[in-house]
Structure 1
Amino acid sequence: MARKRSSRTYLRLFAALLLVALIGGGWAWWDMHHWLPDRARFPVQGVEIGAADGEIDWHTVKGIGADFAYVDASASAFARDPRFVRNFAQARAAGLQAGAVHRYDPCQPADRQAANFVTTVPRDKALLPPVVELDMLADECPVKVGDAMVESELMTFLNQVETHTGKPVILKISQQFEARYAIANRIDRNLWLVRDRFQPDYAGRPWTLWTANSRLANEIADDGLRWVVVQP
């Protein structure tokens, strides 16, 4: 009889601990997806938007506190975000500062990628500095691309895009790209780093932009918004 009571006690204790864990996990999930950096600490905040976010109500984006929007524009040598023109125009009409993002592909020639970007993004002095997203690695390229070639081609791309826009490019570097190529300290450009909730330090020097929440829960995008802050 005592053994049965002891067994029931352990089962109740296990159930209680499981319930606490489930509640704690649920709260942590909710908190992470609704968390925003302190506005007093980071007064300028905004979003990155692309076709995967679906139809965007830009006035609502402005209403929840976005001051600017970076809009996904082009990728690799030929791809273009199908919603770029609409998103870009509507973001500006809603009163947000706007800029464009190119997703860089180390397997494709830099001049073709630059041509893709400059024919997609208008030349306009009012635009925010252009951004090149560095996340794809050259390890799976059909033709071998060495590390030195990745850096050399990237510089070609930057020079051509900067000639078009008249502004230095911002390097949006993922942790895996930086770990592979250590590019942040070899190319002197402002950095955009990515890490949910906690400030990133993987570049070895200060960042200018930070994706602080990659899936901010809201009424605008079902899968969450990429929420970005500016270093004050």
Structure 2
Amino acid sequence: MFPWSWRIAALTVLAALCFAGWQWWQWQHWTPERSEFPYQGVEIGERDGAVDFRALRAIHADFVYLEASDGRSARDPSFAQNLDRVRESDLPFGVIHSYDPCVSAEVQAANFVTIVPRAASSLPPAIELDRLADDCPQNVSDAAVESELTTFLNQIEGHVGQPAILKISPSFEERYNIATRIDRNLWLTRDWFQPDYAGRPWTLWTANAQLRNAASDMPVRWIVAQP
């Protein structure tokens, strides 16, 4: 027989593991309180697999952002299919372009306007800013990153007819301070806690990047909006 001290220690460890498992389950299924943030949605791309857009309504998604174009010429392979399905669901939606600082503004804008139909979205387009210019084949200065991004924004905003949202990662903001240099609404990311790394209020917040849900087989990125 094990001594009582060993039994107590084993029970303590088991209880701690059970609590950690329960807490992890809670985090995976957590969304912010609707009383504080009544308008919430989801980001969808190829990585999310087959998504039932009508079922998104059942888990109380109010809007959808679709990954669309990427850099010079890439596009999300699921975009066309997701675009058709989200239109059928009548959910408000917007699109996301993943910005590549190694590629000129004109080339990226051409990719965006080729993929995203004019006025295709009722929500402002989002420009994802995550990649740094450090690994570009040719040197791109920090000033050039800002200048080219401004040109890109002007070109795609002329296409969609409304200002874009800057979806800025912490590492991109730390390097370029874009939130203080370019006056656009912000989309920030931080699991479970409100982000403050941009130095000014956010409009969209990815609050849970691994939300387990009934609308897709894979976890999705859950977004919160505020005026």
TM-score range, shorter chain: over 0.9
1:125 Cα deviation after fit: 6.8
1:187-198 aligned at under 5 Å gives the runs 187-198=182-193
1:126 Cα deviation after fit: 5.3
Deviations along 1:108-161, one digit per CA (max 9) or x if unpaired, are: 111111110111001117521111000111111121211111111111110111
CA contact (8 A) 2:54 2:89 kept: yes
| TM superposition score normalised by structure 1 | 0.93
1:1-232 aligned at under 5 Å gives the runs 8-124=3-119, 127-232=122-227
Deviations along 1:146-196, one digit per CA (max 9) or x if unpaired, are: 111111111111011111111001000011111111110110000000111
**Consecutive unaligned residues in structure 1, runs of 5 or more:** none
Moved over 2 A (4+): 7-14, 219-223
User: How high is the sequence identity, in percent, across the aligned residues?
Assistant: 57
Q: Partner letter of residue 33 of structure 2?
A: D
Question: Aligned with 2:97: secondary structure?
Answer: strand
* Cα distance in 2 for residues equivalent to 1:165 and 1:126: 8
**Consecutive unaligned residues in structure 2, runs of 5 or more:** none
* Cα distance in 1 for residues equivalent to 2:16 and 2:116: 49
Distance 1:74 1:204, change over 3 A: same
Deviations along 1:23-58, one digit per CA (max 9) or x if unpaired, are: 121112101110011112111111110011111111
Question: Aligned with 2:57: secondary structure?
Answer: helix
Q: Partner letter of residue 21 of structure 2?
A: G
Choose 1 or 2 for highest CA Rg. Answer: 1
* Cα distance in 1 for residues equivalent to 2:99 and 2:136: 13
Distance 1:113 1:126, change over 3 A: closer
| TM superposition score normalised by structure 2 | 0.95
1:10 Cα deviation after fit: 4.0
**In angstroms, what is the RMSD of aligned CA positions?**
1.5
Count of aligned residue pairs for this structure pair: 227
Question: Aligned with 1:185: secondary structure?
Answer: helix
